[in-house]
Amino acid sequence: MSLSFWLVAAPLIAAVLLLVLPKMGGAASRGLAIVGTLVSLVLAIVMWLSFPSGSTGFEFIGKIHWFTLPAMWHGTDLSVGLSFGVDGLSLPLAAMTAFISVLAMAGAKRDIDRPRLYYFWLSMVTAGLLGVFAALDLFTFLVALEVTLFGSFFLIQLFGRPGSPKAAIKFLIYRGFATVAMLVALVGIAYGLTGAYSHSGISGNLSFSIPTMLNEAHHLSSGILPAGVAGALLLVLLLGVFIEEAFVPFHTWLPTTHEYADTPTNMVIGGLLTKTGAYVLLRFGVGMLPAQIQHYGMLIAVFGVINILYGAFAAWAQKDWRRLIAFGGISHMGLVLLGIASFSAAGLQGAMFMIVSSGLLTALLFFLTGAIEDRTNTVQLKDLGGLSKAMPMISGFLLVAALGSLGLPLTSGFISEIQAFIGGFTAYPAASFVGLGGLILSAVYLLYAIQKTTFGPTAKLAEGLSDATAREYLPTILLTAFVLLIGIYPNLIGHLFGLSVQGLLGIGG
């Protein structure tokens, strides 16, 4: 078994153990879940360190044959299996998943009702997310995507704030439709690339293997898949991605979800789950339909700019920290779209950086506002104020997170935004210029919220509150450290992203 197989299996094994072992208390359940995800994190680091330099393809590949669908229209059976592997794009995302999940578990409050069930679902979602990023088989990918869907649903439903069931249903319906759109598009792409229109002729065997599909896409530059079909497939894929990423006008599920979910769930959903759509667009859109991405580039770029601005304006208008962070995330992901639309090395790399940066910062913001809420019982801006006196550390880190989010140099936000905009300006200068407004707005809404929360006269409820505890320091410091580390030394993840950008552009160019 390869490392990437165990990367996904470790949290899954922990989840199964949580389900079957009798008499697990809160601490034991949390410990088991953390160990499972920690194994994944260690494996991800090991793979990172031993990743072959210069490799633009998939490494650490592990396959298990599962079953075959009988041949209906051509020679061989359609092999369906569990197949995992990582490349320069998926390895950082997988590592980030394990990292944020471990911290979400470690930073979770200790008095959770039904801890076994809670950590079971948290481990399942982690395994599902790792599966999404590391899947090399379409069937594996779709199964993993459904696991994240149902896992998050139960986390929101069972462990959210009062009123969460409604939010959970909204989440399920929106993301359910996104999954359907992706399913249709991805099976369609598989069929188009490897089945009907294969370069090797009619005898092409339908394959769900993602490396095979990428390979076929490479040959496709000679134009075997009709442009109309490919364009339709991309539009369906975009629909799925847009819902998945909560882009306007499919965005309403995300703020509602964040408003009702608890802190660790928010870290996982905001930091990781909303990044799967961007990954899908990079992997399947840019990777397999490069010509169509360029063809519809303007559409994607305009959509990206609309989201940058709408997300920022909407965030400004929020009175609740969690909804503010949700809209800030939407604004960030709009920049990812702009980077992808540019279809340049800088733009794609900026998009990838932005996925990681937004993931880390969103998780950090949710964690810190969660810590504030634990003390004050509110995250409404109007009720907060003057927290910096009572809790200087939490307030300080919150400021760092906000500065990172608005793209201050030496934070991960800066390197992401600068690259995405460089890419954007080379391809769509007008749209990018308008999008720049988002940078200013992000400074406005974040600093406004910070000022309301930490500065100013001390609110009554802020009196006598304690600062961060040991449990809270660990995730805060580690997340902040990586935000700064990536900002100061981007090549830490940049060299891996660079490899996959080469791979992607090699196909498209």
Q: Which residues bind another protein (CB under 8 A)?
A: 67-73, 77-78, 142-143, 146-147, 150, 153, 157-158, 165, 169, 172-173, 176-177, 179-180, 183-184, 187-188, 191, 195
**Rg (Cα) of the chain, in Å, rounded?**
22
User: Is 262 in contact with 320 (CB distance < 8 Å)?
Assistant: no
Closer Cβ to another protein, 80 or 268, answer by number: 80
Q: How far is the CB of 177 from another protein (least distance, A)?
A: 5
List beta partners, residue 320.
380
DSSP 95: H
Closer Cβ to another protein, 184 or 447, answer by number: 184
Q: How far is the CB of 7 from another protein (least distance, A)?
A: 20
Helix (H, G, I), strand (E, B) or coil at 320: strand
Q: How far is the CB of 199 from another protein (least distance, A)?
A: 19
Q: How far is the CB of 440 from another protein (least distance, A)?
A: 39
Q: How far is the CB of 438 from another protein (least distance, A)?
A: 32
Q: How far is the CB of 70 from another protein (least distance, A)?
A: 3
Closer Cβ to another protein, 150 or 448, answer by number: 150
CA quadruple 313, 314, 315, 316: dihedral sign: positive
- Distance set, CA 125 to CA 11, 159, 391 (Å): 9, 14, 32
Closer Cβ to another protein, 83 or 369, answer by number: 83
Locate 54 and state its tokens: 């210069």
Query: Residue type at 284?
Result: F
Closer Cβ to another protein, 198 or 480, answer by number: 198
User: Is 394 in contact with 372 (CB distance < 8 Å)?
Assistant: yes
Cα 350-253-181 angle, rounded to 5 deg: 70
Locate 87 and state its tokens: 């490349």
* CA–CA dist 480, 133 (Å, integer): 24
- Distance set, CA 295 to CA 11, 235, 301, 329, 364 (Å): 40, 11, 11, 27, 37
Q: How far is the CB of 91 from another protein (least distance, A)?
A: 25
User: Which has the closest alpha carbon to 274: 311, 225, 329, 232?
Assistant: 329
Closer Cβ to another protein, 53 or 73, answer by number: 73
Closer Cβ to another protein, 89 or 186, answer by number: 186
Locate 208 and state its tokens: 């769900």
